[in-house]
Structure 1
Amino acid sequence: MLSKKAKYALKALLYLTKNADRGLVLISEIANSERIPRKFLEAILVDLKTQGVLQSTRGKNGGYSLAKDPSQVSVGNIVRMIDGPLAPIQCVSHLYYRKCDECLNEETCEIRLVMKKVRDATAAILDTTYLSDLQKINVLVNEEPL
């Protein structure tokens, strides 16, 4: 399940993507527009800056902006930065693999096999969906007649 922190991170990044032509954006603007608690958002943006996704400037004319092109930032990478592995269990994780203590045979474990499918499907979608794609999806949905 996607954590609230990861959801807020994606919402903030999408807001910055939509407003990239404006340059720096204030935390308060993002928080108000996206209905994210400001203190929580501050911590998220610092994490994203540390990871190299955002850049910021302090001071009167300061704020945040994307450090990378939106077509270079995948949803999968953001979710991993905030929530950790996409795998629902550790024995199917690529980066955080750990054998289950109770498992007798990983090759025949039915639970592992289905969770590997879940991990693969999730990664296939999230790793090929970029911030720029999310913006396009929103535009297409909002342009469709009801």
Structure 2
Amino acid sequence: MLSKKTQYAFHALIHLAENVDKGPILISEIAKEKNISIKFLENILLELKNAGILGSKKGKGGGYYLMRAPKEIALARIIRLLDGPIALLPCVSLNYYERCENCKDEAVCGLHDVMSRVRDASLKILENKTLKDLVTKS
């Protein structure tokens, strides 16, 4: 399940993508348009900026903007950045692997096998869908 933080990040990113031609967008505009607390949104946008997804400009005409075109920002990257692993179990995670404490042998574990397939199916979608796909649908 996506956290509220990640959902808000996607809403803010969609707003920035929809207004990409307008230049930097103020946090207050995004917060008002998407009904997100400014304080919470500041933290989210700062995290996205630190990851190189957003840039910012201070002063008159300032605000946040996308560092790349919406078609170049994969949904999987945003989810991993803000929520961590996409996999439902740590033993099937590609980037955050941890052996499960109660599993004797992953090679014969049915749950491991099924969750690996769930991960692969999810990643097939999330790595191939981008912010542009969200804008097209909204």
> C-alpha offsets along residues 80-138 of structure 1, whole Å, 9 cap, x if unaligned?
01001101111000111111122111011111111112111111111111011111122
> C-alpha offsets along residues 35-79 of structure 1, whole Å, 9 cap, x if unaligned?
111100000000000000000011232100001111100111100
| Mapping for residues 126-141 of structure 1, pairs under 5 Å | 126-138=126-138
* Residue in 2 that maps onto 1:52: 52
Greater shift after overlay, 69-78 or 108-117?
108-117
TM-fit CA distance, 1:5: 0.4
SS of corresponding position for 2:122:
helix
CA distance in 2, matches of 1:124, 1:34: 29
- List gaps (5 residues or longer) in structure 2: none
One-letter amino acid of the structure 1 residue matched with residue 9 of structure 2: A
CA distance in 2, matches of 1:70, 1:42: 21
Residues 1:84 and 2:61 aligned together: no
> C-alpha offsets along residues 6-57 of structure 1, whole Å, 9 cap, x if unaligned?
0001110010000000001000000010111110000000000000000001
Residues 1:20 and 2:23 aligned together: no
* Residue in 1 that maps onto 2:37: 37
* Residue in 2 that maps onto 1:62: 62
Greater shift after overlay, 102-111 or 70-79?
102-111
* Residue in 2 that maps onto 1:117: 117
CA distance in 2, matches of 1:20, 1:110: 46
* Residue in 2 that maps onto 1:142: none
* Residue in 2 that maps onto 1:143: none
CA distance in 2, matches of 1:74, 1:126: 7
What percent identity do the matched residue pairs reach?
A: 46
Residues 1:6 and 2:6 aligned together: yes
- Aligned residue pairs: how many? 138
CA distance in 1, matches of 2:94, 2:83: 15
SS of corresponding position for 1:55:
strand
Greater shift after overlay, 72-81 or 109-118?
109-118
